[in-house]
DNA sequence: TATTGTTATACTCTATAACTATA
DNA sequence: TATAGTTATAGAGTATAACAATA
């Protein structure tokens, strides 16, 4: 079957495009974050803090170790972007954006959204076509 | 404009789906490579070697430093998957898959293609719709 | 006993700089 | 002088393990 070879080629072309798109999107994010003087991992943490969250929870959301969150929290605190506030359970500390942290988060998220590839390069109709295809790619039933 | 908020939401949903898809695809690749007892970076190198290539060229293709390619080449050689063969320019060494390297590459690429998300979850028609949208996302004119 | 956050430390991946041999 | 590959080393990013406080 010459069929197999050509299918293989189509598949790797599509996969590579997906990878390239995401790499470009990540590069965009890196650039935008740098514009706010933030390394990527701090920018991600700031965006994740849409409300005060236990450090444990943040670790799950960012899929990293608790000890690493301690690390991030220290850096964010040094910059005056978050503060650690005690939770009801006294083992827990919540990370909470400071006033300046909230302001930064607003500006950052607006910049990210405005810059998004999917807005810059696709029409509304394109996006309407794209969404269900991506959803299909994410449903893990047929395994 | 409540418009802006909802657009923002649509955008981040699409972007997140793209990221999730690629993460899943990469996880699949990691799993498949592990099935051949290869860490990801070695598997990528093996796939890149569809023909003997100067180490310099491989560095460009994998977008990494020459010194790192030396590193990869050592590991691949230890596994008996590649050999260094002298180029015409005597400064150059070509990395060339051994017989067993070629065999591995064939099986690996077949496994990758067969497992691809875009095959598992999309119909041929879906893929035909998806391709031009991804291409549009990759054309960097409208900046 | 289990869980939260912290500390100290170690590991993985990758790059930089200096080197050699060729060109 | 510039380039290909190598070596030794360093850095970024992240995890592991042991720990103190609390549940």
- pLDDT (tens digit per residue) in A46-87: 999 999 999 999 999 999 999 999 999 999 999 999 999 999
pLDDT of residue B2: 54
Q: What is the pLDDT of residue A126?
A: 96
Judge whether B101 and B85 are in contact, CB under 8 Å. Answer: no
Give DSSP secondary structure letters for B30-92: HHHHHHTT--HHHHHHHHH-SS-EEHHHHHHHTT--HHHHHHHHHHHHHTTSEEEEE-SSTT-
Residue B114 pLDDT:
86
A24-46: per-residue pLDDT in tens? 888 889 999 999 999 999 999 99
Report whether pLDDT(A142) > 60: no
The pLDDT value given to residue B142: 46
Token pair of A32 as six digits: 């935008």
Instruction: Judge whether residue A66 contacts strand C, using its CB and a 7 Å cut-off.
Output: yes
Indicate whether this model's pTM tops 0.95: no
Give every CB contact of residue B49 below 8 A, 6+ residues apart in sequence: B58, B82, B95, B96, B97, B101, B105
Residues 70-129 of A with CB under 8 A from B: 109-110, 112-113, 116-122, 126-127, 129
Residues 6+ apart with CB under 8 A from A82: A49, A73, A76, A95, A96, A97, A98, A101
Identify the pLDDT of residue B4. 64
Flag residues 108-137 of A with CB < 7 Å from strand C.
none
Check CB contact under 8 Å for B126 and A136: yes
Quickly state the pLDDT bin for A95 (edges 50, 70, 90): very high
Which of A15, A17, A142 comes nearest B121 by C-beta? A142
Q: Residue A83: helix, strand or coil by DSSP?
A: strand
B138 touching chain A per CB within 8 A = yes
Per-residue pLDDT band at A113 (split at 50, 70, 90): confident
pLDDT computed for residue B60 by the predictor: 96
Query: What pLDDT, on the 0 to 100 scale, is given for residue B11?
Result: 83
pLDDT reading at A105 higher than 90? yes
Instruction: Look at residue A138 and tell me whether its pLDDT is greater than 60.
Output: yes
Domain residue limits, chain B: 2-138
Q: How many CB atoms within 10 Å of residue B21? A: 23
Question: Residues of chain B whose pLDDT is less than 70?
Answer: 1-2, 4-5, 141-143
Contact B120, A140 (CB under 8 A): no
DSSP code, position A64:
S
Smallest CA-to-CA distance from A138 within B124, B61, B77, B13 is with B13
Of B121, B129, B131, the CB nearest to A137: B121
Residue A139 forms contact with B (CB below 8 Å): yes
- The SS3 call for residue A21 is helix
The nucleotide whose C1' lies nearest the CA of A74 is: C6
Position B141 scores a pLDDT of 61
CB contact under 8 A, A11 and B116: yes
What Rg do the C-alpha atoms of chain B give, in angstroms? 20
- Integer Cα distance of A68 and A59 in angstroms: 8
CA B13, CA B27: separation in Å to the nearest integer? Answer: 21
Strand D footprint nucleotides (protein C-beta < 7 Å): 3-8, 13-18, 21-23
CATH class of B2-138: mainly alpha
């Amino acid at each position: 079957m010459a069929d197999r070879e050509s299918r293989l080629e189509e598949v790797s072309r599509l996969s590579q495009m997906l990878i390239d798109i995401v790499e470009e999107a990540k590069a965009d994010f890196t650039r935008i974050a740098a514009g706010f003087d933030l390394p990527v991992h701090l920018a991600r943490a700031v965006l994740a803090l849409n409300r005060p969250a236990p450090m444990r929870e943040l670790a799950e959301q960012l899929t990293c170790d608790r000890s690493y969150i301690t690390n991030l929290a220290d850096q964010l605190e040094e910059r005056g972007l978050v503060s650690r506030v005690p939770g009801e359970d006294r083992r827990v500390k919540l990370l909470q954006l400071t006033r300046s942290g909230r302001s930064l988060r607003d500006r950052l998220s607006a910049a990210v959204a405005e810059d998004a590839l999917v807005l810059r390069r696709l029409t509304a109709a394109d996006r309407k076509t794209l969404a269900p295809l991506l959803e299909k790619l994410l449903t893990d039933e047929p395994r």
